[in-house]
Structure 1
């Protein structure tokens, strides 16, 4: 018999959960909403909405909060998600630091902490410390429903490990799934940092609705991107579909640790910025800096104050960011590109050059329909993204994960 490719079907119970998820996700975005508004947004009948909402209220996931004005000034009972009863822990792992925070499923920050470690430290020791801090937070915050991890890409999701961590080869042997999935009595979800950033912008970025497609351009210690298209991450076979940091922009350029030459990451990452800045602007680094985020900010502050060398360096970085945006537009056709992480501190100094490059290199019919923005998230976008990973998962299966009475 010919082998047939597996195709997912939907049981009645799946459709019920999909409708519950749709309502919960609307409330996550809109804060307070009436049953009539939800019916209009989802296309479901008023009777169906009434039935589903009654179950969600009984489960303690949704609560009624008084009256809201509807069409024709008619008053309706408002509904709100019980976000404060559903907390998530976000964990960000990067080359020099790991951060852990507690958030609710609407993005409110309860606490966050950061731990630096050296490149020469044993990965196993760092993992032990991460586990300890998470356990401590679980003891303190009883309403945690899930834990999200954001790790550097390329992350091989089927294998549970990072394919390449520049400057930190020992971490390629760490299996994040084996280390963390069964360590806690809460579900653990792991995602590449750029995908996490995309989810943070999607759920917490306040870009307005409806958005069909959003690209998050991570420009920090490394470079990557995450794409949310019609409410779903684009992942590809191994989970590295949007790994633009290792796209070559100069086939004869310097060698990258990934084996390629002239990778985008070598030109517009925080590492690339600081390497050049320390050569041409040594006076900016006479005083020790706390972290690379602060170090990048020193360069951009100097540029804003009119330092010519800092301005030239900022313009150069912006050009390469523009090339990255061109790639994202041609490959993924996003409505919005959001630039985040430490390089995004350049803000308005970066955007004119980025937009100029895009205008020059993308046909007007396409470039005119893409909005390029700097992230306005006030929380570390990758840490926020780790919380968004967990939020995204639990909102898709509210009956399974969210707190019930």
Structure 2
């Protein structure tokens, strides 16, 4: 049995519940919102209430598909942000990433009226319908649209504000600042205003006998009060026109009315059905939408919010197939030892996690199998995480097998690369997976050089005399800032984490010939423009010390503005969490195991690469393995 937590976030109360996969409400609770305090405190209360209900229901996080939230205002379901909510005094609040960080559970978000509509479709009056529209008639007029069983939200999740469609051009001013909105004429507030105006004009009316509410207006109408009859007739005409517009646009199977006025039941829906039949386009020739009342009441938002998670495919890690490169210096170890299947020979690099146009990796499991990671990221932009905002996937992860030495190279920084090459610069990190005895690499210079001396040594072939040659062994770490001159030597196998760039300036190539029999091109002028002609600023080695946490030893390899890389040595199980701030990339260097998440498991072995989308939530690495974990 799958479960999800549904949260109906209101300006007054936070209501939440545990919902089963057949949309039964298992547990329910609420706490005051206290909306004028900082949003972080509201989010903390939401997380606390959710986890209390999980415990009360006798469940664990592993039993839960996630947390669904219905919030007032404009909600971006892709990023999990509440973009704007006047009820909560919120602007650009990263609600889902925050709840995932606090609970370890994936989180989905939509407008509260949308969630109420979805709740009625999966468990209420519109159960079994593929298309339905909900209008909530309360202080304002909320709207939710379900098409083919899914919430319709429009671009950036800002659509379906049905209450703010124009009913009467230039009419009564609405709370949104426009005039003549449906909300200004068909809400409970509007009915009370209309009745108050009638009461002032008719002192003898029953409308003056008590405080005017939507119910008291209908009660007076039923008692035969002429002024009340006129008010109700005019109100129902306004509402009828609004409903006819919704029917003509969507032609849903059902249109449901919720909110306080819907408590009038058939006294409201019978005249609405007659009005729709008489006024909708083709009403005497084709299917006519039935108008009815919503039945779930305040449970609709909770159940609909939970359905955001229960109706979606279970979140899962994505296993990736790499792109391959057969540069002339490569070897055969990636095929013989790491299970890479390709006819290319030699095999120099496998691009294990890549959205670069020169070699994207491909998803091999789940519903997105066959798509490139770049296609997946374009369809699901929130998978990258909120720490990254410029729209270009930020990193590229490789395995590199150097059977022969690589050319001496240098990479530009962002400013130079964008100006000259039109892509990001290239800062990278090397983790030495294996090295043959006597292997070495070049890492900066032994001493400071002038541009003139560097150019002369490139020309006369003596550049390597002043490069900083470093003997290497398995486990060594090198952070290669943009501008650092470098070269991987023969007999070294490396895991490389780098910016998502393929811009490399070749400085020196030992006089080698390419496949065409000609010397490979050098990029001397560009290289000298960007190179730091001095010893490296950073010493070799990891940036952190090993930290033991249960069955896992974690070592910070490198941390910079582009990526963070850790070495994980797992001997049992290691609980982790991919919150909304960053994806998690796992590259297995040795051993085997499985990533357990959402009730399922994705196995991995030496050489495998897995991508865990941001917001995936809690997961566990089980097995005996050494992996590189990369995040933003």
Q: Provide the C-alpha distance between the structure 1 equivalents of 2:314 and 2:121, rounded to a whole number of angstroms.
A: 13
How much has 1:92 moved relative to structure 2? 0.6
Is 1:380 the counterpart of 2:299? The answer is yes
Q: Secondary structure at the match of 1:251?
A: coil
Q: Partners in 2 of 1:402 and 1:95 — Cα distance?
A: 32
Q: Distance in 2 between matches of 1:97 and 1:390?
A: 22
User: What is the 5 A alignment of 1:206-217?
Assistant: 207=126, 209=128, 211-217=129-135
Question: Which one of the candidate residues 19, 27, 31 is aligned to 1:111?
Answer: 27
The answer (yes or no) to whether the contact 2:80–2:108 under 8 Å persists in 1 is no
Q: Are 2:308 and 1:389 aligned?
A: yes
The 3 A distance-change label for structure 1 pair 217 and 378 is: closer
Deviation at 1:257, TM superposition (A): 3.9
Q: 2:248 aligns with which of 327, 330, 341?
A: 330
Q: Deviations over 1:111-136 (max 9, x none)?
A: 22233445644444433322221232
Partner of 1:74: none
| C-alpha contact 1:86 1:402 (8 A) present in aligned 2 | no
> 2:161 aligned with 1:243, yes or no?
yes
2:242 aligned with 1:318? no
| Displacement after TM superposition at 1:197 (Å) | 1.9
Query: Does the residue aligned with 1:182 lie in a helix, a strand or coil?
Result: helix
Q: In the alignment, which residue of structure 2 is the partner of 1:180?
A: 99
**Are the structure 2 counterparts of residues 134 and 262 from structure 1 closer, same or farther at C-alpha, using a change threshold of 3 Å?**
same
SS at match of 2:145: strand
The answer to whether the 8 A contact 1:334-1:370 is kept is: yes
> Which whole-Å deviations, capped at 9, do the CAs of 1:269-326 have from their partners, x for residues lacking one?
244345566785576559xxxxxxxx75566566556666665554444333222211
Aligned residue for 2:102, secondary structure, equals coil
Greater fraction of residues in helix: 1
Distance in 2, matches of 1:169 and 1:255, equals 22
Q: Tell whether 2:7 aligns with 1:129.
A: no
Map 1:210-359; keep pairs closer than 5 Å: 211-274=129-192, 281=207, 284-285=210-211, 313-358=231-276, 359=278
State the TM-score, normalizing by the size of structure 2.
0.43
Secondary structure, counterpart of 1:238 in structure 2: helix
Query: Whole-Å Cα distance in 1 between the matches of residues 311 and 219 of structure 2?
Result: 36
* Structure 2 spans left out of the alignment, 5+ residues: 200-206, 317-365, 368-595, 602-632
- CA distance 1:156–1:403, change in 2 (3 Å): closer
State the match for 1:363 in structure 2: 282
CA distance in 2, matches of 1:186, 1:169: 23
1:246 CA drift (Å): 0.9
SS in 2 for 1:381: helix
- What secondary structure, in the 3-state scheme, does the structure 1 residue paired with 2:239 have? helix
* Richer in strand (by share): 2
Q: Which residue of 2 aligns with 1:146?
A: 66
Q: Give the Cα separation in 2 of the matches to 1:383 and 1:177.
A: 16
- Equivalent in 86, 91, 111 of residue 192 of structure 1: 111
Provide the C-alpha distance between the structure 2 equivalents of 1:189 and 1:264, rounded to a whole number of angstroms: 29
| Closer, same or farther: CA 305–110 of 1 in aligned 2, 3 Å | farther
Sort the Cα spacing of 1:306 and 1:336 in 2 relative to 1 into closer, same or farther, 3 A.
same
CA displacement at 1:252 relative to structure 2: 0.9
1:75 maps to: none
For 1:202, which of 113, 121, 128 is the aligned residue? Answer: 121
Distance 2:211 2:234 in 1: 20
Native 8 Å contact 2:173 2:180 kept in 1: yes
* 1:325 aligned counterpart, secondary structure: helix
State the Cα deviation string for residues 188-225 of structure 1 (Å, max 9, x = none).
1111122212211221126464x442222233343232
Equivalent pair of 1:145/1:401 in contact (CA under 8 Å):
no
CA RMSD in angstroms comes to 3.5
Question: Counterpart of 1:364 in 2: which secondary structure?
Answer: coil
Unaligned runs of at least 5 residues, structure 1:
1-84, 287-294
Whole-Å Cα distance in 2 between the matches of residues 361 and 248 of structure 1? 17
Choose from 79, 99, 102 the match for 2:15.
Answer: 99
Q: Equivalents in 1 of 2:100, 2:227: separation in Å?
A: 48
Change (3 A) 1:218 1:366: farther
Label 1:263 to 1:154 Cα distance change in 2 as closer, same or farther (>3 A): farther
Q: For the Cα contact (< 8 Å) 2:118–2:146, is it kept in 1? A: yes
Aligned length: 311
Whose Rg is larger?
2
Instruction: Give the conservation status (yes or no) of the 8 Å contact 1:278–1:285.
Output: no
* Contact 1:95/1:165 (8 A) holds in 2: no
Cα drift, residue 240 of structure 1: 3.1
**Kept in 2: contact 1:220–1:341 (CA 8 A):** yes
Question: How high is the TM-score relative to the length of structure 1?
Answer: 0.65
Distance 1:163 1:265, change over 3 A: farther
Q: Is the 8 A contact 1:181 1:187 kept in 2?
A: yes
